[in-house]
């Protein structure tokens, strides 16, 4: 006897109640049976409940989270569950040391250094300056091509100073360097670098240029570069600052926003990253001999110019000054930096901060980890986090990477990593059938949408 | 004093007597009774339930007539921040035997329990179907539940990659 098809007999709202008894792996299997079942299996309500079941402590304020994030797209909860789950697995992130001595890399490679800057441009990372000792600084520019694994040191026009403790941000193909220290004083303001023409120059700006500084932090939101804090020279004394300055690169105009909320204490050696249009500031310290070190987290909303200090939960973050900070999706990661538990020692641990649940967790990373260090650059290109050099009782010349597993990458970006697309050019990139793309039904209260996988093409 | 027995008419035009106690286990019938207090008791029409299925429902009600009334679940989390996971385990031996039926019958009882609003029975059927889904491959689920496979090979490849994510989650 032909069994009547379940979806034609059982109303959708009853089916989704049945599905609420399923574990994630069963739900995913069920979703792989047909299009309508796939839509049902992606329901926000189901995955929200699964998040709450799996991490009850983290999702104690689930209604608040729902208000803040839950309405942003239909896949939010499923995606967040899968990413959080993957981060609990040892194999999702893995350490690899990139050999600097291989002959294929050629003889060009950056020497041991710290307090340099690393900036991503079109699958390349450009490393600028840095220092190998208190009195030895560099003005060199190294290009690392992540697709070939080669370093080059092209000739640069202009005459950049020997510099360290600066920041370099890329906006629309132009690098904006700010501040830094040349061993004599903090006297550098804004300079620019064109990575295609390989030209270093001092751009014209309007508005009041912020005072020069070193060990500040920078972040980019849209076409604007934000600078916060750092060490300033005032009346021949060095002071820690907590002022915010913005360079709007569309008009090349500086401004200092009137910040409200809980402004972070003056500090230097902190880091900033942008996640979903908000700036996250982590760590740093201030005072003579780093009297105060911070492992705290602050957020800045560029739309309202408001600072806030979220109440975080979870593990103690044993990292403060000169930690490496990067973001993937809704997660912020911290590697190394000065420990808060043992003064004067640095760390080689990785911590993950979930910006949704405001929870810190010690992150396990597969493979042999690098030794303890601080002040190494961190750049995310595609599915790899590149960590260059750093410092621990002396400059380090090691090039490390953390690779994300494809599943995690796919869940964050909704597509395959670019590089694997390039390597496996014969493999078709995941696409959804046109009929599936078109199909968008609203059934009961469940909002559903088609696949999140998108056609991925390599941008040249 | 209301009579102790209620008459209902099923979809196949059978008139069935059931005790007031059993009738009241159905929120649907119960509210109909409340609406017609004092009126002459006519047979209540149940156009969505067949006599065969209603008998099954009465069987279940008979077995569970002395169950404590279901407590409304407090959705708010308690202070310990504990959240009880949804459990699909069927612990009652009689219930286990009861759900050991053809899928067609199971679905009919589920729909009747939903229409009659018999909470315990509805939950039981949902749990049972959920248990039937567990641990099965998409192919096995399709076969068991007669789901039409309308996915392309690309869709399936994409799904296989995605669901590997939690395959080791126990």
- The pLDDT, as a whole number, for residue A454 is 30
A451–B111: do the CB atoms touch at under 8 Å?
A: no
- The pLDDT, as a whole number, for residue B34 is 85
**Interval A5-35: pLDDT, tens:** 666 678 888 999 999 999 999 999 999 999 9
Q: What's domain B5-68+87-161's superfamily in CATH? A: Potassium Channel Kv1.1; Chain A (3.30.710.10)
- The pLDDT, as a whole number, for residue B4 is 79
Distance from A81 to chain B by nearest Cα, in Å? Answer: 10
Chain position carrying tokens 């009041």: A208
B147–A28: do the CB atoms touch at under 8 Å?
A: no
**Interval B114-155: pLDDT, tens:** 999 999 999 999 999 999 999 999 999 999 888 989 999 888
Which site among A12, A26, A38 would you substitute to test the B interface, given the most B Cβ atoms closer than 10 Å to its Cβ? Answer: A26
The CA-atom distances, in angstroms, between A248 and each of A75, A167, A169, A227, A256 are 33, 16, 13, 12, 11
Question: Residue A168: pLDDT above 60?
Answer: yes
In SS3 terms, chain B reads as CCCCEEEEECCCCCEEEEEHHHHHCCHHHHHHHHHCCCCCCCCEECCCCCHHHHHHHHHHHHHCCCCCCCCCCCCCCCCCCCCCCCCCCCCCHHHHHHCCCCHHHHHHHHHHHHHHCCHHHHHHHHHHHHHHHCCCCHHHHHHHHCCCCCCCHHHHHHHHHHHHHHCCCC
CB distance from B80 to chain A under 8 Å?
A: no
A94 belongs to a structural domain: no
Closest CA in chain A for residue B151: A34
* A355 vs B66 pLDDT, higher one: A355
* B110 contact partners, CB below 8 Å, separation of at least 6: A10, A14, B122, B125, B126, B129
What whole-number distance in Å separates Cα of residue A161 and Cα of residue A159?
A: 6
Most confidently modeled range among A63-72, A241-250, B86-95: A241-250
A4–B104: do the CB atoms touch at under 8 Å?
A: yes
**Interval A129-149: pLDDT, tens:** 999 998 899 999 999 999 888
B86–A20: do the CB atoms touch at under 8 Å?
A: yes
CB distance from A441 to chain B under 8 Å?
A: no
| A75 pLDDT tier (thresholds 50, 70, 90) | confident
Of A361, A320, A365, A363, which Cα lies nearest the Cα of A341?
A320
Question: Residue A224: pLDDT above 50?
Answer: yes
- The pLDDT, as a whole number, for residue A102 is 55
- The pLDDT, as a whole number, for residue B76 is 52
**Interval A415-427: pLDDT, tens:** 888 764 433 333 3
Distance from B121 to chain A by nearest Cα, in Å? Answer: 13
- The pLDDT, as a whole number, for residue A68 is 84
CB distance from B90 to chain A under 8 Å?
A: no
Q: Given the DSSP bridges, would you call strands A190-194 and A199-201 parallel, antiparallel or unpaired? A: antiparallel
- The pLDDT, as a whole number, for residue B85 is 65
A36 belongs to a structural domain: yes
Window B:140-159, CB contacts with A under 8 Å: 141-142, 144-152, 154-159
Round the average pLDDT of chain A to a whole number and report it.
87
A456 belongs to a structural domain: no
Main-chain dihedrals φ then ψ at residue A130, nearest 5 degrees = 105, 180
Window A:51-90, CB contacts with B under 8 Å: 52-53, 56-57, 59-60, 82, 85-86, 89
Mean pLDDT score, A98-107:
65
A33–B141: do the CB atoms touch at under 8 Å?
A: yes
Q: Where in the sequence is the domain holding A17, given as residue range(s)?
A: 12-60
A52 belongs to a structural domain: yes
Q: Percentage of chain A surpassing pLDDT 70?
A: 87
Mean pLDDT by 10 residues, chain B (170 residues): 78 92 92 76 88 95 85 52 72 94 93 95 96 93 90 83 46
B157: Cα separation from own chain's centroid? 34
**Interval A171-182: pLDDT, tens:** 999 999 999 998
pTM: 0.86
> Number of Cβ pairs closer than 8 Å across A and B?
148
Domain count, chain A: 1
Beta strands across the sheet bearing A395-404: A93-98, A395-404, A384-391, A377-381
Nearest to B165 among A2, A6, A407 (CB): A407
Report domain extents, chain B. Answer: 5-68+87-161
A82–B88: do the CB atoms touch at under 8 Å?
A: no
Q: Percentage of chain A surpassing pLDDT 90?
A: 73
């Amino acid at each position: 006897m032909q069994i009547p098809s379940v979806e034609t007999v059982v109303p959708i709202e009853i089916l989704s109640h049945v599905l609420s008894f399923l574990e994630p792996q069963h739900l995913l299997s069920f979703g792989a049976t047909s299009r309508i079942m796939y839509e049902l299996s992606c329901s926000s309500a189901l995955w929200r409940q699964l998040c709450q079941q799996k991490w009850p402590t983290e999702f104690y304020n689930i209604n608040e989270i729902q208000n803040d994030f839950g309405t942003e797209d239909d896949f939010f909860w499923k995606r967040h569950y899968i990413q959080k789950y993957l981060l609990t697995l040892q194999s999702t992130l893995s350490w690899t040391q990139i050999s600097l001595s291989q002959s294929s890399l050629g003889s060009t490679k950056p020497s041991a250094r710290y307090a340099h800057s690393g900036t991503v441009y079109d699958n390349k990372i450009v490393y600028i300056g840095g220092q190998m000792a208190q009195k030895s600084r560099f003005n060199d520019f190294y290009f690392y091509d992540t697709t070939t694994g080669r370093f080059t040191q092209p000739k640069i026009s202009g005459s950049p100073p020997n510099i360290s403790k600066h920041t370099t941000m890329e906006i629309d193909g132009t690098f904006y360097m700010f501040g830094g220290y040349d061993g004599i004083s903090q006297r550098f303001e804004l300079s620019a670098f064109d990575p295609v023409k390989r030209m270093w120059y001092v751009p014209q700006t309007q508005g009041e240029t912020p005072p020069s500084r070193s060990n500040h932090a920078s972040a980019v939101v849209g076409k604007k570069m934000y600078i916060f804090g750092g060490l300033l020279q005032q009346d021949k004394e060095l002071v820690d600052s907590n002022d915010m300055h913005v360079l709007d690169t569309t008009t090349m105009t500086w401004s200092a926003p009137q910040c409200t909320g809980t402004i972070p204490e003056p500090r230097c050696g902190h880091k900033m990253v942008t996640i979903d249009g908000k700036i996250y500031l982590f760590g740093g310290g201030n005072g003579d001999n780093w009297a105060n070190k911070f492992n705290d987290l602050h957020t800045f909303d560029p739309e309202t110019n408001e600072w806030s200090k979220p109440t975080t939960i979870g593990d103690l973050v044993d990292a403060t000054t000169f930690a490496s900070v990067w973001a993937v999706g809704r997660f912020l990661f911290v590697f190394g930096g000065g420990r808060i538990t043992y003064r004067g020692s640095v760390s080689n641990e990785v911590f993950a901060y979930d910006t949704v649940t405001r929870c810190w967790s010690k992150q396990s990373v597969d493979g042999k980890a690098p030794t303890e260090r601080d002040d190494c650059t961190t750049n995310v290109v595609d599915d790899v986090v590149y960590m260059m050099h750093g410092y621990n009782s002396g400059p380090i010349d090691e090039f490390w990477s953390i690779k994300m597993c494809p599943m995690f990458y796919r869940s964050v970006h909704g597509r395959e990593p670019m590089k694997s697309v390039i390597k496996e050019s014969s493999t078709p990139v995941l696409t959804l059938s046109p009929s599936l793309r078109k199909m968008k039904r609203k059934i009961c209260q469940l909002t559903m949408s088609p696949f999140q996988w998108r056609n991925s093409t390599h941008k040249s | 004093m209301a009579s102790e027995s209620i008459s209902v008419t099923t979809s196949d035009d059978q008139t069935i007597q059931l005790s007031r106690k059993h009738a009241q286990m159905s929120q649907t019938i119960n509210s109909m009774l409340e609406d017609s207090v004092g009126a002459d008791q006519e047979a209540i029409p149940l156009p969505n339930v067949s006599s065969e299925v209603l008998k099954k429902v009465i069987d279940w009600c008979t077995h569970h007539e002395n169950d404590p009334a279901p407590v409304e679940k407090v959705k708010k989390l308690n202070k310990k921040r504990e959240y009880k996971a949804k459990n699909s385990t069927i612990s009652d031996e009689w219930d286990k035997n009861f759900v050991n039926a053809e899928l067609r019958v199971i679905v009919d009882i589920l729909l009747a329990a939903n229409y009659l609003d018999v909470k315990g029975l509805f939950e039981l059927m949902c749990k049972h179907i959920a248990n039937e889904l567990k641990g099965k491959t998409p192919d096995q689920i399709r076969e068991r539940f007669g789901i039409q496979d309308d996915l392309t090979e690309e869709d399936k490849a994409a799904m296989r990659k995605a669901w590997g994510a939690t395959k080791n989650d126990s």
